[in-house]
Structure 1
Amino acid sequence: MTSSIVPLAPYHLDDVWRIEQAAHAFPWAESMIRKDPNRIAVNIALEVDGKLVGYCFGQLVAGEATLLNIAIDPALQGKGYGKQLLDGFIEAIQSRAGEEIWLEVRESNTRAYQLYEATGFNEINRREGYYPAADGREDALIMTYYVM
């Protein structure tokens, strides 16, 4: 199997929308997925044998990046693709002279939290009741990573 990190392109968007709905209990609106990227966007995709298996949306402003959304097709999770995609995002930020990456993760998303922590992200704060949840609201854990 050959995997590669590529810029997220219009031909990916049908698969992105499918994965977004399958991977998230509260997915982004389709209009957000299909919105044309602006000049600060850092949107990438992970392809395996030419097939989209994951994507992330991010942005970079004045050396500070934000990872806005990341997902791996639920049928393909647990194979290390999330780490590949996250590493690809870090490399994309590094190649654009980014110095720091910020993200927020649901408190209940322990698999993602563990991946971020293992990659070198540190939890620095919490936003109480930030995300909608099935039983009301849940906290967002704010994490940061310093690009070397």
Structure 2
Amino acid sequence: MTHKIVPLVAHHLDDVWRIEQAAHAFPWAESMIRKAPGKIAANFVLEIDGQTVGYCFGQNVAGEATLLNIAVDPACQGKGYGKILLEGFIDQLSAMNAEEIWLEVRASNARAYQLYEAVGFNEINRRIGYYPAETGREDALIMTYLIM
């Protein structure tokens, strides 16, 4: 098994859109997935043996990065790919001179929260009722990672 973190480019978009729909109860709009990246974009995919199994969308502005969206194909979850992708994102942002990375995660998403915490993110705040949920709204937990 060989894995690579590579910039997300046009030929990845069909796989990314398929994974986005499969992995999220409230997926981004297809237009957001397919939107041409701006100069602050930090979008990457995880390829395993040439197959796109995960992706992340981020931004880097003046050393402050944000992880906007991350997902691993549900058919490939539970194999450590989320950690590989997240650590690859951190490495890429470090190379882009980011000093810290911010993210928000659903309060109910315990698996993602545990992954972020294991990699070194710390919860610093909460946004009450931020995300749509099956039964109304749910909180977003704000986490940050300091790049050394």
TM range (shorter): over 0.9
SS in 2 for 1:26: coil
Check if 1:30 corresponds to 2:9: no
Whole-Å Cα distance in 2 between the matches of residues 43 and 75 of structure 1? 22
1:1-148 → structure 2 map (5 Å cutoff): 1-148=1-148
Whole-Å Cα distance in 2 between the matches of residues 6 and 120 of structure 1? 22
Whole-Å Cα distance in 2 between the matches of residues 97 and 24 of structure 1? 30
The amino acid across from 1:85 in the alignment is: L
What's the offset of the Cα at 1:55?
Answer: 0.1
The amino acid across from 1:120 in the alignment is: G
**Off by >6 Å, runs of 4+ in structure 1:** none
The amino acid across from 1:95 in the alignment is: A
SS in 1 for 2:143: strand
Whole-Å Cα distance in 2 between the matches of residues 117 and 135 of structure 1? 27
SS in 1 for 2:141: strand
Whole-Å Cα distance in 1 between the matches of residues 105 and 14 of structure 2? 25
Whole-Å Cα distance in 2 between the matches of residues 5 and 61 of structure 1? 21
Whole-Å Cα distance in 2 between the matches of residues 109 and 75 of structure 1? 18
SS in 2 for 1:46: strand
The amino acid across from 2:42 in the alignment is: V
SS in 1 for 2:125: strand
Aligned length: 148
Whole-Å Cα distance in 2 between the matches of residues 45 and 86 of structure 1? 10
What's the offset of the Cα at 1:102?
Answer: 0.1
SS in 1 for 2:38: coil
What's the offset of the Cα at 1:108?
Answer: 0.5
Which residues of structure 1 form unaligned runs of 5+? none
